[in-house]
Amino acid sequence: MMNGDSEFNRKRKNNQLANRRLPDLDGEDEPDRHHHHLALSLSICPAPQDQQQSEHLSAKSLSSQPGKLAVPPRRRRAAPRGRGGRVPPPSGGGDGGDGGESIPAPFPWATTRRATVHSMSHLLANRIDSIAGEVQCRRCERVFEIEYDLRQKFLEVGAFIAENKGAMHDRAPQEWMSPVLPRCGSCGQDNAARPVIVGKDGINWLFLLLGQMLGCCTLEQLKYFCEHTGNHRTGAKDRVLYYTYLGLCKQLDPTGPFDP
């Protein structure tokens, strides 16, 4: 009986000691408690170095799994262009000898069809508002580049046609047959910079139109344009040149008053 009482007293004493310790925990200061939680969170968060190492290992493990690593798309390289925005012609030549209608676009404003340029709306939508071309001085022989504002120069050409078309009688006027050439920026010579024309497929038709220098083309070159654009190509140069001007204007503005 005494052993039972002793055991009961011992358990009662232990419960009293445990109850005395609980207030110490409940009475812990608020700053100490926050400090305890902060220390706990810092001990759980990995160090930056460990995190980078973990990410590196994760990427490495992904790359080791076949068929699960996404391959980034290859960037399309723009076609190399020479001076005046020209795309180098293919190695097979650029004179239209193969008879096909499709060619690599020689300029950003040209299409892949021979002697054909994009419409004005297409060019402006693609932020092509200046047209460049190469010229060479007849005096100092220096080659340099000229740029024309697309809107401004086309308005000049269109206004000239609207004003004089009735008196042309399907013939190019003298202003087109013997165009005034640009001034040389090197030697200062007026009426000296002729457009550089390399091969029929490499003719910068839009540049020649805006500069009103299509008259610098030979009759064969003008016939080449009319042949591949469905225009009349027989007769003297003034007749073929007239159709070339109107044909190019029609390509730029299909709804404009540029029917022959």
pLDDT digits (tens, 9 = 90+) for 184-223: 999 999 999 999 998 999 999 999 999 999 999 999 999 9
Pick the more confident residue, 258 or 41. 258
Pick from 80-84, 106-110, 193-197, 252-256: least confident: 80-84
**Token reading at 241:** 């040149």
Torsion of CA 145, 183, 156, 164, to 10 degrees: -130
Run of H or E including 131: strand 130-137
pLDDT digits (tens, 9 = 90+) for 24-35: 444 444 444 444
Nearest-angstrom CA–CA distance, 195 and 214: 9
CA 158 to chain CA centroid, nearest Å:
28
pLDDT digits (tens, 9 = 90+) for 137-190: 999 999 999 999 999 999 999 999 999 999 999 999 999 999 999 999 999 999
From residue 46, give the alpha-carbon distance in Å to each of 33, 51, 58, 143, 231: 22, 6, 15, 65, 76
Question: Mean of the per-residue pLDDT values for the chain?
Answer: 77
Q: pTM of the prediction?
A: 0.65
How many degrees, rounded to 5, is the angle at CA 154 between CA 153 and CA 157? Answer: 90
